[in-house]
Amino acid sequence: MSDEAISAGEHTGATANAAPQRHVVFSHGLASGPWGRKITALAEVVRGEGYEAHSVDYRGVDAPRERIARLADYCKELPGDLVLVGSSLGGYVTVASASVLHARGIFLMAPALYFPELPALRAGIIDCPTVVVHGWRDEVVPFEHSVRFAEHYRAALHLLDSDHNLHNQIRVIQNLFEYFLIALDLPAPAGE
């Protein structure tokens, strides 16, 4: 494991004796860090649902392709089920990496999608259950970008009364995320 990445076990001082086979890996945004408010709050949900929480440290790495490479390098050491969570630029990194990393599901918060300065995403890039949460009053990433993405990929979309950081909706996001993780374990409906 690289020294740029921090796992929840290292973050909380837990021992590594019991290596769970279910992992959630968080990718933070450009202006935040690996254990910001949203990630810390969602990590509680992760552990409650029997997953191990990880958060990749991208501080000092602004280039999207370098962030994608760092995420891929980090995840190659994680056996078992992988769920990816991304916020803002971390949402872009999550989407770009999901199919290559064989993610079981992705959860996006105000993802930075459809910006001309970001490398174009290949068509049909999402092949797993996806949830998008975005604030109506986002001043950084227009909510319309998430609407466009959700419509194209038939992803679940939750528009909340919030701004880009979504901090006033953390409890709601925790509930949405918990439901998302639980739903990943439910059997597929007949006929799918």
Segments making up each domain of the chain, as ranges:
21-184
CATH of domain 21-184: 3.40.50.1820
When mean pLDDT is compared across 59-63, 86-90, 160-164, the lowest value belongs to: 59-63
Closest of 125, 93, 106 to residue 180, by C-alpha: 106
Mean pLDDT of the 51-59 span: 96
Place of tokens 């494991």: 1
pTM recorded for the entire structure? 0.88
- Give pLDDT, residue 187: 79
Angstrom distance (rounded) from CA 54 to CA 34:
9
Strands 81-87 and 22-27 come out as: parallel
Q: What is the pLDDT of residues 137-188, one digit of tens each?
A: 999 999 999 999 999 999 999 999 999 999 999 999 999 999 999 999 887 7
Q: What is the pLDDT of residues 1-40, one digit of tens each?
A: 444 444 444 444 344 455 459 999 999 999 899 999 999 9
Q: Where are the beta strands (DSSP E) in 36-149?
A: 52-56, 81-87, 105-109, 130-135
- Would you say 66 and 50 are in contact if contact means Cβ atoms under 8 Å apart? no
At residue 192 the predicted structure's pLDDT band, cuts being 50, 70 and 90, is low
12 CB-contact burial (10 Å; exposed 0-12 / middle 13-18 / buried 19+): exposed
